[in-house]
Structure 1
């Protein structure tokens, strides 16, 4: 996700009410280096959550393609970085549906990754922990969404 320039942020903030500004600032104060990215999400991307998810999925694809597959040390390091970014973007959104969808996408990419994660215990454990986390998130969602996401989880569990 590319952060907006300071002038773009300033321009967008000028259109907000004082109450909205206060709420944005309080939420912004909870973060440190990601302030600009969070503000970009709140001002520009929160209105279209589907596009936000698609942008992150595209970024995940690029990061998976850039992984050095020469040995599992580099693979583990890169996969952890991707997961860290997903968690960060999920925190910006605060929507459980977004977090579930991103983690499911991450798990599907990891499952299809070559060389296979079955050959490395650490990666396999990381994959299984993410599936458990997704199940926990899904349990808090609406029943219709639960059913759809649970079908995806069952498909991913057959590793």
Structure 2
């Protein structure tokens, strides 16, 4: 089965009543975990972005605390998983400020991680790439916010 385009789906949704839309949303929530997470964000957390960011930061902390530090191979795999999770939460929000805040927090946690990532060029490349993405996102913001975020980037010392 080939999926319909977003425009076709949008046109079809306009013909449905609110009860039918509610049932479709509930079916989507049951179908996949990410759909449920997105609906949770839209219904409960989108109105308070600061609280959402703090919740994601707590989850990032927990994930960094659970990293297996026996070898850099395991550390790298865990770091990639944490980054994937962070990017998923950024996708839910679609706000540049949220993206920058979460990526900055991820980079700070990674830079301060023990054992030091300086002995692993591949993990350092992950950090460098994320910093480039942060800088690119900062350029799209208002000048005052650019200044604030550039100050935070300087704190990373890179």
TM-score per shorter chain, which class? 0.7 to 0.9
2:89 equivalent to 1:103: no
- Partner residue of 2:148? 148
SS of the residue aligned with 1:100?
Answer: helix
Ranges in structure 1 where 5+ consecutive residues have no aligned partner? 1-16
Ranges in structure 2 where 5+ consecutive residues have no aligned partner? 1-16
After superposition, the C-alpha distances for 1:114-153 in whole angstroms (9 at most, x for unaligned) are: 1111100000010000000000011111111110000111
Choose 1 or 2 for highest CA Rg. 2
In structure 2, distance between residues paired with 1:93 and 1:106: 16
TM-score normalised by L of structure 1: 0.80
2:85 equivalent to 1:81: no
4+ runs deviating over 6 angstroms: none
In structure 1, distance between residues paired with 2:124 and 2:34: 30
TM-score normalised by L of structure 2: 0.80
CA RMSD of aligned residues (A): 2.2
SS of the residue aligned with 1:34?
Answer: helix
- Partner residue of 1:4? none
After superposition, the C-alpha distances for 1:74-115 in whole angstroms (9 at most, x for unaligned) are: 100000000001100000001010000000000000000011
Tell me the matched-pair count. 136
